[in-house]
Amino acid sequence: MKTYAMMILGCKVNDYEATYVREKMNEHFKEISFKEKADIYLIFTCCVTNTAEAKTRKFIHDARRKNPDGYIVAIGCLSQIKSDNEVFDDVDLVIGSQRKDEIVDLILRQTKENLVDKQIKNRFEHLYIESYPSRSRSFLKIQDGCNQFCSYCIIPFARGRERSGDHDKILEEASILSHINKEIVLTGIHTGRYNDGEYDLYHLLKEMVKIEDLSTIRLSSIELTEISDEIIDLMTVNEKIAPHLHIPVQSCSDDVLRAMNRPYTIEEYKKRIAYIRNRIPDISISTDLIVGFPNESEELFNETLENLKEIAFSFIHVFPYSRKTGTAADRMDGHIDPRIKKERVKKVSELEKDIMNSYKESFTGKKVKVLVEKTDDSYSYGYSRQYFYCKIEGLYEIGEIYDVIIDSAKDEVIGHVA
């Protein structure tokens, strides 16, 4: 049997799409490690940062070095916007943001072609997944594309305009996945913009919580302006929806937010977060943050630091601003020295550590639900519904959810099953 190896860069949407392709590939080929010599290499690309692009180049080079006669496939966002670039000269099959449902058939035919559609169709591709490699949680893509055009972001060009899946098909897939894993993560490029006629995200969630075998529904990244009062109301009355919202702020300075073309002020953001916490007191609110955006002065960065202290996110994914050709921000003046960006990342990370520890310590003595993901000789490990990592005394079944009393949260969160 021929072998294949897969490398996945980027976001949860890439992970979902790669899982679909893996399921279909396994019907014809045997998967091995990307470190080994394979007959076929599949690389799911990302274009969000220059680092992701550099990794794509590296993995293409590595694959060709391991097997000069191998068949290499590049898939996804970087393929979509740079398919004609020399980076893909050594790739046999190039697929962009669409036609992922055709990949395995194209591989079986040994198609050697650049099949990137320059004009992305306004059609949602349903990729049914009937199995999942993880024994803990499954991803389910409900939406694709973005209309927001933040000045730093290339994704609207790579993924096209907003489009949503058919709600009946999504609920059907969620029901199938509920028999595989206890937790489903709803994901998309702009998840909160899900809209299928009468069905917005709230109505989809309202139906999904009725799936009997589904224990936890987790929302991936969602914009502040898309968290309706109806969604918050549903979260307060139905514990199936995890008390965790990842709400990108990107900057905590109004001057920078305007330059980024973000649709809120920092005061509007703080007011909405306060409302959510008032309704759901123990909720985890995490975020994405970009530092070193063009013209972000030391004063504006310090403003961000002060507002971060006030908001007190449970954790922060912080990134140095990365230039992307084709975006409005790339054409701006006032780009920041990389050394300054690196120092600002460090300062945010140091601040985040203290805030994150305070949040976790607030659960000492409390009961949380934890999905067990792995075990060793004496302990079980997994994430709580608030999405902090727990170490549980004793050995418990992987893939099951347990009520855990938190005993300590100083350096690591340790607890016991109630």
Q: pTM for the whole thing?
A: 0.93
Report strand pairing: 379-384 vs 389-393. antiparallel
Q: Write the DSSP string, 321-381.
A: ----TTSTGGG-S-PPPHHHHHHHHHHHHHHHHHHHHHHHHTTTT-EEEEEEEEE-SSEEE
Residue 237 in any domain: the answer is yes
Kindly tell me if the per-residue pLDDT of 361 is higher than 90. Answer: yes
Tell me what the mean pLDDT of segment 381-396 comes to.
97
Mean of all residue pLDDT scores within the chain: 95
Residue 325 in any domain: the answer is no
Q: Report helix, strand or coil for 389.
A: strand
Kindly tell me if the per-residue pLDDT of 198 is higher than 90. Answer: no
Kindly tell me if the per-residue pLDDT of 325 is higher than 90. Answer: no
Question: 132 and 41 in one domain?
Answer: no
Instruction: State the pLDDT confidence band at 130, using cuts at 50, 70 and 90.
Output: confident
Predicted confidence at residue 265, as pLDDT, reads 98
Q: Among residues 68, 93, 71, 72, which one has the least CA distance to residue 83?
A: 93
Q: Report helix, strand or coil for 225.
A: helix
In contact, 374 and 380? CB cutoff 8 Å:
yes
Which one-letter amino acid corresponds to residue 21? V
Domain hosting 207: range is 121-242
Share of the chain above pLDDT 70, in %: 100
Cα–Cα distance measured from residue 247 to residue 231, given in angstroms and rounded to the nearest whole number: 14
Tell me what the mean pLDDT of segment 332-340 comes to.
97
Q: Which helix (H) or strand (E) holds 288?
A: strand 284-291
Kindly tell me if the per-residue pLDDT of 30 is higher than 90. Answer: yes
Segment 209-220, tens digit of pLDDT: 999 999 999 999
Question: 231 and 127 in one domain?
Answer: yes
Segment 81-105, tens digit of pLDDT: 998 888 898 999 999 999 999 999 9
Cα–Cα distance measured from residue 246 to residue 23, given in angstroms and rounded to the nearest whole number: 29
Domain count, the chain: 3
Tell me what the mean pLDDT of segment 126-136 comes to.
83
Question: 66 and 99 in one domain?
Answer: yes
Kindly tell me if the per-residue pLDDT of 131 is higher than 90. Answer: no
Cα–Cα distance measured from residue 71 to residue 74, given in angstroms and rounded to the nearest whole number: 10
In contact, 292 and 341? CB cutoff 8 Å:
yes
Kindly tell me if the per-residue pLDDT of 136 is higher than 90. Answer: no
Instruction: State the pLDDT confidence band at 411, using cuts at 50, 70 and 90.
Output: confident
Q: Among residues 149, 147, 184, 144, which one has the least CA distance to residue 164?
A: 144
Question: 189 and 206 in one domain?
Answer: yes
Residue 323 in any domain: the answer is no
Cα–Cα distance measured from residue 397 to residue 371, given in angstroms and rounded to the nearest whole number: 9
Q: Among residues 65, 71, 74, 113, which one has the least CA distance to residue 97?
A: 74
Residue 85 in any domain: the answer is yes
Predicted confidence at residue 52, as pLDDT, reads 85
More confident residue, 51 or 43: 43
Name the token pair of 256.
Answer: 């920078």
Segment 45-87, tens digit of pLDDT: 999 887 888 899 999 999 999 999 999 999 999 999 998 888 8
Instruction: Assign residue 7 the CATH number of its domain.
Output: 3.40.50.12160
Segment 262-290, tens digit of pLDDT: 999 999 999 999 999 999 999 999 999 99
Instruction: Assign residue 206 the CATH number of its domain.
Output: 3.30.750.210
